[in-house]
Each structure stands twice: as structure tokens, then as C-alpha cells.
Structure 1
């Protein structure tokens, strides 16, 4: 049984309170949009750019499409193509050395490419180590402009002012944020996701769903973030199974997933997230569990834990998944919302936590790091260290 001692029914954010909404940057969205990358950079007056990507995208020819578009527009281009999952401080330093004379940094890929591109953009103009900028708005000079081109429907990094960088020395996933690293341009082309394998599509899709659900159930919700989160869930819920199992042919589902992921990114930019992310980051830092996989496993367990603190919103989620809850109590409908996500996880090709070497001996340290998560105060229900230990234990019982 989970520890119920920390259940907190305190009043959520007053819906009449003042809130701010300050998205920035342009969006170019649609099938084939990536072909216009060079044209769009030329409009921005770019003479030289640095492309940040990975070997997988080189192998499948996706990076070459962007390279041809950029160089074909007469723009000089340097390429860093060695990004790995959970890009590190050292990766950022290598990108900085390449990007010093560039007008813009292009992040092509998932968060493992877009996030270090953002971090490098900070260091090119501010100097030092990215460790100096952990937190929010720690830099003073404006970073280089960033162009983000996602190749998966997941992180939402193309439309957020955040980056997460792995600090191997501390076994810590380090958050860096600030309005200056909101991409100046996001080029979202669903066609770039067509060749993703099912396992990656599932992990990134569950990450996007986690963003949307945690934004909708955060203590920091406001009307605009709610609207974006709701639409994101409504798009992702029916699309995620088709893109995982027939993603090479269901083009409409691919389109909806990329739109849903982008909207979820905008939603959590202001509404923040919850403890699924607090739990996922230490799993990535200590056991190299891919971020989307960690969120996929934690999300339904966290939803079940949080449900009593705000049952109305969890009941809404059932409806967003298309479930008929007419005649049910709010609590009954909320349980259906949670069950929808448990059933979705069962259908996903997601490995169980034990396959990454996580054991009960390591839960104490995982819980300590989860307690330090920046999203914990915004979670629907207050959480203790013992709560995290019990939550991790429950995640470990999920069999795939």
C-alpha cells in the first residue's frame, strides 16, 4: 500500500488570480516543413550556423536533408553529430567549440540534441561551464538564437525555455532554464518521425502524454495552459497506439502526435510538471533509463497516488480518452482516467524497470534525488521521501 500520510487537500491556485503568458519564437508546422529550413534561416539573416544532431539521424539521411537545405541557401554550416541520450556537460563543451562563430544553433533530433544545442547557445555568449547556469535565468547575455527541429513527438523542447543536461560527475540531470533559450524558430515536420522504431515512438509519445497530464493536474495551472494540455491529451490519447504499431502508414496519427507533443510543451512551460518527472530524472541519471521510458512507467502510478487530491481533473482525463463516465461519481470517473493510462502502458513496448538494473537497494538514493526535483512543489499532492520510496517500489512491480 502507498503511504497516505502526505495527502494534502489544500486549495489549488485561485482561478481569479493574475497569471502571465509570454511564449516567444515562431513555429513552422506541417508535412514537408523541414525542406524550408534554409529558406527560413536566410529570412533571419543567418550567414553561418551550427547543426547539432546524432549518428542515427545521419544514418537514416534525415540530417542530410537539413544540411542540403541550409547549404543550398548559401549558408555556411558546421555539424556536430555525436549527441547521445542524456547529453552531457562534455557534449555541450564540444558544441560550444564548434559554434563560437555561428549566428544560430540548430538542434535536430529529440531532447538529446535540442537540449545541448540550447545549453551551448548560452555558453557561446556567456562563457564558463553549463554547471554555472543550473536553475532559471542564471545567464546575463542573450544566448545565440536557437532553431529547433524535432524528429520525435515527445520532449516538447522545441517550444520550451528549458534544457536538461546530464552531469556525470554528480550522477545528476541538471535543469537549465530561461526565456532566452526559447527557440527563435521551431520547425515541426511530422514526416521526420515516420522512420522512428516502435520502441522510440512509444517512449517519446508517453513522455508527451506525461507532459500534458502533469500540466493539467499541476498546482500552477491557468486557463491557457489548461486549454493546451486538454487539447494535447485529446490528440495524443487516440494517436499513440497507431503511431507505435503502424507509424509508417498512419500519417494522420503522426501529425496529431507531433501537434500534441508541441502543445504539451507549451502547456508545461507555464503550468510546470509533477512528481513523475521528479522520479524519472534520477532514474535516467543513475541507471540510464531513457527519459520517456521512465515517465511511461511512473505516470500511472503517480496518477493513482495523486488522484484523491484533485479527482475532478483526473475524471476529466477519462473523458479526454473517450471514456463514457455518465452516471459515475467523480471518484469513479477519476479511477477510470487512471486505468486508461495503466492500460495504455500495457500496450506499449516499454521495458520494465528491473531490466535497467534498478533494485530496492537503490531506492533510498533515488528518493533523495526525487525530493530535490524542482517540480515537486507543483505536484497535485505533497510528497515525502517515504512516499517516493513506496512509489518506486510500486513502479518496480509493473510487469511488461
Structure 2
């Protein structure tokens, strides 16, 4: 593929709608599988979120096994444990249910089901020689969009660095997006994961790898988050329309960045999360406006479009730089409205680690999509402002 050619991959099939998981059994019939392994976490299982899926599997006359050992920011150790559970269960389909950590674990474990070696041996793009078993991914948060992507993130248990593994074979055979499953998530989780959606959409839109179709999905996702995230957070699972719009926005943003890539927000948040355990969505939410301000001089027209999508008062007569500054301000207000902290100082992250985090971020694959060229000093400056709550021009 030459530099002028573009690649974009999405799942062959997606099922979207309130109560969609009730149709799971019929799709398992189509795949001809006998025993799925459900990969999830203890919280999802304890909250009863799995119940409608289990009912659907049982109604289809199938047995199943469950691995509920997923942890936030899954490590290589967790992935190998999940892969061992797949082998022990004599399973023939991977069913990832949960947030991004569960679905990423399911993707990574599926690699090991058909390939020998350590999971980190497959780091990078296109390094999975044998196709994984069939897979179905079911998100329970509106956040990562992992159910529609071909990337998985695995933390190295020795270095705490998050490594990216991408392969088109990791795309779900079926993604089921059922907004009803997101209803029970606590308000802080809805807020952080919702801001993760916004981060995906904005980074995909301004990425140097953006394509017309990814940009269309990204802008529509931005509009949905700006309108519906506060409602989804405030009404604690009772606003069916808001939950459905956020679920749609999440998958759209996932498809957008699956083709366009991401940027400096993710390059930095991967380091902050991997080193200090700051939840991914929260780190993204805090860092997003600071990176937007940094990128603004490079893509003022795109920032103006973002401002418009977030409901800011901009028109053709508004200078792009001014409109772009309004986009940054709008993101800050939205984060404040859903009670996201303003600075990294409010998290477990430590300021003394800034040089190390910046150096590590330079090696993160997400950085390749950032519209403005960066070096370690630039990234350190962004982190410093994110700790202090200071902007250059706002």
C-alpha cells in the first residue's frame, strides 16, 4: 500500500438497539459454535449486566464458560489467564462483554487461542499470523468503541507501558451495541467514558490520517456527545434517548479512529494510565483541551468545525482561530458539567514523572496521527499545563 492509499476496516456486522442482546442466541446458531467463553470483569458480573446475555445463550440450548478476571488496563498476565480459560473450557467463540478493558482482553486472548508465544510478541500492526476464533463483542459502557476496532491495548506487567496490537483479524465477527447494558454504570463512569468518546472523535477528526468517511462519523459523534452526555450522566440510566445516542456516538467514534488514528491525547494518557493507574477515560478527559490548544495553530478550520458541532456561536465571519478557542472552551465546560477534574494534579499522577512520561509518549503509536509535530519537550509542556490548569492563550 503506497502513501497515497488509505485503509479503513470495520466489523462486517453490527447489531444496534435497546435490548439487542436478546438476539445473541440466533447469531450463535449462525456461527455454528457450541460453547462460548465470556470474558468480562467481576463488576459487570456482580451487577447483573450479564444476565440477559446468559438468558439468550441458555435459551439457545448452549453451555458457556465465564472468565471474570479482567482488570482495568489489562496486563499481559491477565490476557494469558484469559487464554488459559479459553483452552480449559474447550470453547469455540470469544464473547467479550464489558468496557474497553474486557473487550481488549478478549481480543488479545483470542490471538493466543490460535497462535503460540507471548502476547507482547504480536505488538505492532499486522503481526498475527493465524486468524483467531470467532468473536462477539458487547460493550457495557459508551466509551472506548473497542467493539468496532481492530486494535487491542495490553500493559506490559514489567514496564507498565501500554503496548498496541493491531490486526484486521481482531475485528469482531459481530458487534452487539445494546444501550440498555450501559444504564447501570455509575455517573462518574458515564462521565469519563463519555469524554473518552469525545476524545476519540476529536482526535480522529484532526488526525493527519483522517478520511472523508471517518471525519463524517467523527463530527456526528462530537455533536451527539455535546448534546447527550450531560443527560446520560445526570439521569443515571433513566434517559433512554441519551443512553442510545451516546452508545451510537461511541461506536461511530470507534470506527472513526479505527481508520484515522488518534493523537497526542492518547499518546500521553496511555503513559499516565499505565504508570499511575489513572482510568483511561479520565486521563483523556483531562488532557483533551490542553492538547487541542496545542494543535489549534495547525488545524484552526477543523477546530472551528468542532466548535460548531459543540453548539458554539460561530459563523463564516468568525475567524478560525477565535472559533477554535471556543472549541477548547466548550470542551472544558462540558468536562466541568459532568464533574471531570480540571487537572492531572487531582489524580494519582505525579508531576515529577513528567519527563519520563513525555519520553515514553514519543514512542506511542497514537502520536503518529497528531496534526502538529511534537517532541518530548512539547509533550512535557502539555503535561505541565495539565497539572497546573494553565492555558497559553485562554
TM-score norm. by structure 1 comes to 0.93
Alignment match, 1:302: 291
- 1:282-297 to structure 2, matched below 5 A, reads 282-297=271-286
Given candidates 197, 203, 218, the residue that maps to 1:214 is 203
1:39 paired residue among 5, 26, 31: 26
Correspondence for 2:75: 88
Q: 2:357 aligns with which of 366, 369, 372?
A: 366
Query: C-alpha displacement at 1:18, in angstroms?
Result: 4.0
Counterparts of 1:21 and 1:384, CA distance in 2: 28
Q: 2:255 aligns with which of 266, 270, 273?
A: 266
Q: Are the equivalent residues in 2 in contact too, given 1:288–1:356 (CA < 8 A)? A: no
Out of 167, 172, 189, the position equivalent to 1:178 is 167
Please, which runs of 5 or more residues in structure 2 have no aligned partner?
none
Q: Which residue of 2 aligns with 1:342?
A: 332
Count of matched residue positions in the alignment of Structure 1 and Structure 2? 384
1:358, distance to aligned residue in structure 2 (A): 2.4
2:240 is matched with: 251
Distance change (3 Å), C-alpha of 1:20 and 1:377: closer
| 1:76 aligned counterpart, secondary structure | coil
**8 Å Cα contact 2:9/2:258 also seen in 1:** no
Contact 2:278/2:348 (CA < 8 Å) preserved in 1? no
Is 1:136 the counterpart of 2:125 in the alignment? yes
Q: In the alignment, is residue 205 of structure 1 matched against residue 198 of structure 2?
A: no
The separation in 2 between residues aligned to 1:288 and 1:240, in whole angstroms, is: 24
Q: Say yes or no: does 1:52 pair with 2:39.
A: yes
- Contact kept? 1:198, 1:349, Cα under 8 Å: no
SS at match of 2:365: coil
Q: CA deviation at 1:342?
A: 1.2
Distance 2:5 2:121 in 1: 32
SS of the equivalent of 2:64 reads: strand
- Check whether the contact 1:28–1:187 (CA below 8 A) recurs between aligned residues: yes
Contact 2:224 2:245 in 1 (8 A): yes
Partner of residue 163, structure 1 = 152
CA distance in 1, matches of 2:282, 2:336: 13
2-side partners of 1:271 and 1:307: how far apart? 18
How far the C-alpha of 1:331 sits from its partner, in A, is: 1.2
- Alignment deviations for residues 31-67 of structure 1 (CA, whole Å, 9 cap, x no partner): 0001111221122211111000111111111112212
- Say if 1:167 and 1:174, in contact at 8 Å, map to a contact too: yes
Structure 1 residue runs of 5 or longer lacking an equivalent are 1-13
For 1:388, the equivalent position in structure 2 comes to 379
| Residue in 2 that maps onto 1:110 | 99
3-state SS, counterpart of residue 133 of structure 2: coil
> What is residue 9 of structure 1 aligned with on the other side?
none
